[in-house]
Amino acid sequence: MTESRLKALARSVDRAPHWLIKTAVAEYLDREEQALREGEEDEARWRRYQETGEAIDQERVLAWLDALAQGRDETCPR
């Protein structure tokens, strides 16, 4: 079933089935690698918070987001 779907799509877009497979795998790898990087960044942030206890309070973040929504270019709170 997958093979016939692949061949039909390849004909529809005037590409070789191999091209579709290669493109799909490359896109999948890009997404998964990005997800891994984000997970690693999240873990590093969590460790930093556990070590320092430093955080940005919600009111400051919401005020910053409101400013951005109103078109004001303000620096992200730190």
The structural domain count of the chain equals 1
In terms of pTM, does the model score above 0.75? no
DSSP state letters, the chain: -HHHHHHHHHHHTT--HHHHHHHHHHHHHHHHHHHHHHHHHHHHHHHHHHHH-----HHHHHHHHHHHHTT---PPP-
> How confident is the model over 20-58, as pLDDT tens digits?
999 999 999 999 999 999 999 999 999 999 999 999 999
Domain assignment of residue 67, yes or no: yes
Domain assignment of residue 32, yes or no: yes
Mean confidence (pLDDT) of the chain = 96
Domain assignment of residue 6, yes or no: no
Domain assignment of residue 63, yes or no: yes
